Amino acid sequence: MRRYGEEVRRKGETLGFVPTMGALHKGHGELIGRAKRENNRVVVSIFVNPTQFGPSEDYDRYPRTWEEDYAYLNSLGVDAVFAPPVEEVYPVYPPRVFVEVESLTQHFCGKSRPGHFRGVATVVTKLLNILLPHRAYFGEKDYQQWKVVSALVQELLLPVEIVPVPTVREEDGLACSSRNRYLSPQERKEAGKIFQAMVKVQDLFQKGERRAEILRSKLRRELKKIPGVKVDYAEIADPHTLLPIKKGEMGEGRILLAVYLGGTRLIDNLPLTLRKEVV
């Protein structure tokens, strides 16, 4: 992969990179399409990164669908797939060296999943370091992850542009996710209502409500109505610092949530901005 990256750069071509954990869906497809439009060459990695999973999380049962993924990537016409074994990405295990992004990881998924973003920041740094792409593509679906990756690239002075891609959704609004395949048919039906709950908060904001506590309680009330949903967190955050806005008049914000539906953890987010944009 390192040699491949070098060759692409030597020819004066640009290299786009899409890191994934596989179990690919049309959300990944969107990132790849964007990367193809903006670069001469596109590499997709498939690597289920052990260090970003907690001990009681789904690392072992995370879906691994290599045959389907490979066929999908072929059909999209990517130039190379990078699917390294764990020993190659972590020559020493357990690793001694990690990348830690502070402050942005204090709340939300950083709080619910201790060590998660340390694992993400570490593996992304490694993958970027191997390939040295011109651009790397990240989904806004994982909003906090996008912010964490942007911060590490900025502060570690990595010569790569991080490109955010709007969330791709199913017809009922559910954000596409590899974990959606864990949902039972009944849970899958309810899952669409998570998006509707966020849209209601967006509507309230558009109508002029600016008090963070009112917007947050609307969000929580709407989520409570969905059968089977258990809220991990549901907050309004500053879209740049990712600190929760607890109370009082706010400018722009970001709705951020994580819920359990049965045993499946789903995350989603939407912007609260003056212009209505639903992404």
Residues designated as active site: 28
For residue 76, give both structure tokens: 């999209």
Residue among 38, 32, 5, 9 nearest 20 (CA): 32
Question: Cβ 144 to ligand AMP, closest distance in Å?
Answer: 10
Please tell me the count of residues contacting ligand AMP according to CB under 6 A: 17
Burial pattern 28-60, b for ≥16 Cβ within 10 A else e, equals bbbbbbbbbeebebbbbbbbbbbbbbeeeeeee
Site for ligand AMP in 136-165 (CB under 6 A): 138-139, 141-142, 165
What distance in Å separates the CA atoms of residue 42 and residue 17, rounded to the nearest whole number?
Answer: 6
Is residue 69 near ligand AMP by the rule CB under 6 A?
no
Is residue 31 near ligand AMP by the rule CB under 6 A?
yes
49 vs 250, which CB is nearer to ligand AMP? 49
Is residue 265 near ligand AMP by the rule CB under 6 A?
no
Site for ligand AMP in 207-226 (CB under 6 A): none
Which residue of 73, 163, 176, 194 would you call a contact of ligand AMP, by CB under 6 A? 176
Is residue 135 near ligand AMP by the rule CB under 6 A?
no
What distance in Å separates the CA atoms of residue 100 and residue 214, rounded to the nearest whole number?
Answer: 34
Is residue 177 near ligand AMP by the rule CB under 6 A?
yes
Which residue of 8, 20, 163, 266 would you call a contact of ligand AMP, by CB under 6 A? 20
Give me the residue whose beta carbon is nearest to ligand AMP. Answer: 139
Using an 8 Å Cβ cutoff, are 196 and 219 in contact?
no
The residues pairing with 57 across neighbouring beta strands, listed in sequence order, are: none
For residue 212, give both structure tokens: 């963070």
Question: Cβ 169 to ligand AMP, closest distance in Å?
Answer: 7
* Amino acid in the structure at residue 169: R
Using an 8 Å Cβ cutoff, are 253 and 174 in contact?
no
Question: Cβ 269 to ligand AMP, closest distance in Å?
Answer: 11
- Backbone φ and ψ of 75, nearest 5°: -65, -30
Is residue 90 near ligand AMP by the rule CB under 6 A?
no
Binding part of the chain for ligand AMP, among 24-32, 127-135, 257-265, 267-275 by CB under 6 A, reads: 24-32
Q: How many residues in total does the chain contain?
A: 279
| Distances, alpha carbon 167 to alpha carbons 29, 129, 174, in Å | 11, 26, 10
Is residue 168 near ligand AMP by the rule CB under 6 A?
yes
Is residue 51 near ligand AMP by the rule CB under 6 A?
no
Is residue 45 near ligand AMP by the rule CB under 6 A?
no
Give the sheet arrangement for strand 80-82, strand by strand. Answer: 80-82, 41-46, 15-20, 135-139, 161-165
Which residue of 5, 8, 15, 30 would you call a contact of ligand AMP, by CB under 6 A? 30
The count of other CB atoms within 10 Å of the CB of residue 94 is 7
Residues contributing to the site for ligand AMP (CB under 6 A): 20-21, 27-28, 30-31, 138-139, 141-142, 165, 167-168, 175-178
